[in-house]
Amino acid sequence: MRALATILALALLVALPAAADFNAAREAALRGDFEQALPELTMLAEAGSAEAQALLGDLYSRGDGVEKNDALAAQWYEKASRLGYSDAQYALGLLYQTGRGVRQDKATAYMWMVLAFETGSVRMWWEQAEYIRNSLTAAQVAAAEAEAKAIMARYPGRK
């Protein structure tokens, strides 16, 4: 029991600086201090932080502090999306809907919108998903929904 308490305490000590580092990097990005924000965000994103991955996606999508690059934005959004980060799922769905940085694919856009709604429960996201759904065949809808369920089953912490 004591060993378990020690392990949990060590895990907490490792996790707290990561959260603090993300918050500091996000604040730096909001201030426009990308020289400070980008290295920290990149390190956190590469270590698996969905929040950092999504924020990097936002920065590349807008060209804030970096050269605008929709393909790189899509890569970061997808990493965060596969970890269940709903804001990134919505952003990635929009990229697939419009073909920015990825091959336009409305079925894939719909799948990411469904996931964004399921994980974030924002009505606007469902309305966007429904808008896309209306342009798909029944087979495309079924395939997209099946893929969404498969991705959700792989989220960290889900059985």
In this prediction, residue 24 carries a pLDDT of 92
CA 12 to chain centroid: 24
* Structural domain includes residue 148: yes
Q: Report, as ranges of residue numbers, the positions in the chain whose pLDDT lies below 70.
A: 1-20, 121-124, 157-159
* Structural domain includes residue 27: yes
CATH number of residue 134's parent domain: 1.25.40.10
In this prediction, residue 19 carries a pLDDT of 55
Q: What DSSP line would sit under 71-117, residue for residue?
A: HHHHHHHHHHHHTT-HHHHHHHHHHHHHTSSS---HHHHHHHHHHHH
pLDDT in tens, 55-101: 999 999 999 999 999 999 999 999 999 999 999 999 999 999 999 99
* Structural domain includes residue 159: no
Across the chain, mean pLDDT equals 85
* Structural domain includes residue 158: no
Amino acid letter at 12? L
For residue 45, what are the domain limits? 2-153
Number of domains in the chain: 1
In this prediction, residue 157 carries a pLDDT of 58
